[in-house]
Homo-oligomer: A and B are copies of this chain.
Amino acid sequence: MQIQLFITGGTLDKVYNPLTGELVFDQTSIPAMLARGRCTLDIAVETLSLKDSLDMHDQDRTNILQRCQSCPATHIIITHGTDTMAATAEVLGKHISSKTIVLSGAMIPYTVSHSDALFNLGCAVTGVQLLPTGVYIAMNGQIFSWENVMKNRDAGIFQQHATNSVY
């Protein structure tokens, strides 16, 4: 199985700039993370952007969509910032039904202690192989369909939309 991994940026790939004291983008850590995971799968890695997902706009999502549609792979992982991951998943979910696409990222950068990035990458790599066609978010050990997922910013987790409990 050929897997395509598109990097778009997000917290996962932020690094500390000692001169400015800020977390910024420099080089992606994804290839190093796959090597650390001793991952033996055939994964093609390509960086589409290195952006905070709050800085991603319609044009960015259109570009991601087009790349997912045009690439030969039918199994695609996308690393993405968490703040608008659900929005990008929705764009992809509404337009692609014949591929398995898993979005993932991290709440703590890979280069910061106690990062969840490597755990989430393991989840994404496994999910993309096992899930049926569709668009998903793999975070916190859970897998969500694009149709029912939101980031709970207060808790720092992803969850399903609250069920409207009537009566």
Instruction: Give residues in A with beta carbon < 8 Å to B.
Output: 11, 16, 18-19, 21, 23, 33-34, 36-41, 107-109, 111-116, 118-127, 129-131, 138-143, 153-154, 156-157, 159
Contact = CB atoms under 8 A, between A and B. Distances in A.
B39 A141 contact: yes
A139 B37 CA distance: 9
B19 A116 contact: no
Contacts of A108: 16, 18
Question: Nearest 10 pairs between A and B by C-beta?
Answer: A122-B122, A37-B119, A39-B141, A126-B126, A130-B130, A119-B122, A18-B107, A122-B123, A123-B126, A118-B118
B37 A141 contact: yes
